Structure 1
């Protein structure tokens, strides 16, 4: 974690920003929750446990700063809440999400399932694909079990 924090600090410094204590605390929450998809409010709640002086506006501003500098990326699952994950959106590897319509569980799918489709779209339509996002909706194993 320390290596990532140093890298983020260097990246911000190169762009004339500082990794303040509050920004670092927000980054730490994202790193500690890397398998979750946290909203700004979720992040705020977790940061408040460590640093009661951090305000919600600071969390929002920091998330926008991190997005702007490709430190995190955001995902919208159609529930009206933007979720955040640590990681670079331009890293070349995409992961996808399976979303349970009953309980809201979000399962990450790490295989890049659309690589061949991107290539074909590029060829067939003379189109340069820069990004994609795949969301699969259905029911998780636990909800399937409960509905039987």
Structure 2
């Protein structure tokens, strides 16, 4: 069984502060992929002393420790999600910024097949499709 994000931090020796705990709670409960400003807004309902600078610093620590995944958007922005969810890929709407999660066994099989044909075994991968809705 995978450790919770809080347990994963403790296992790496990172102290779980009140601010980190608030941010982890918000990320764990998020059904979307919030940016830092939205995470700050939500986390302040738990800990009103939390500053935006602390959110950015904490996100860097959480990402470095592999607890949080950062989705770097083409416009320079970033969105976040916890890393302990089952593997999935993303479609990012370039017009609205909406992020849709999906999983396709066909794509997963094809990626494994291509890697094997080139003499590799996939250890980890991420796929982000940047799209626009058809009109």
What TM-score results when the alignment is normalised by the length of structure 2? Answer: 0.80
Unaligned runs of 5+ in 2: none
> What corresponds to 1:21 in structure 2?
18
Task: Say which is worse superposed, 21-30 or 49-58, in terms of deviation.
Answer: 49-58
CA distance in 1, matches of 2:14, 2:94: 40
Unaligned runs of 5+ in 1: none
Change (3 A) 1:57 1:124: same
What TM-score results when the alignment is normalised by the length of structure 1? Answer: 0.74
CA RMSD of aligned residues (A): 2.5
Instruction: Judging by fraction of residues, say which structure has more helix.
Output: 1
Q: Does structure 1 residue 139 correspond to structure 2 residue 133?
A: yes
Change (3 A) 1:107 1:12: closer
**Deviations 1:52-75, CA, capped at 9 Å, x for gaps:** 211122111211221122212111
Greater relative CO (CA pairs within 8 A, separation 6+): 2
CA distance in 1, matches of 2:7, 2:93: 38
> What corresponds to 1:97 in structure 2?
90
Q: Larger C-alpha radius of gyration, 1 or 2?
A: 1
Q: Does structure 1 residue 8 correspond to structure 2 residue 14?
A: no
Q: How many residue pairs get matched?
A: 133
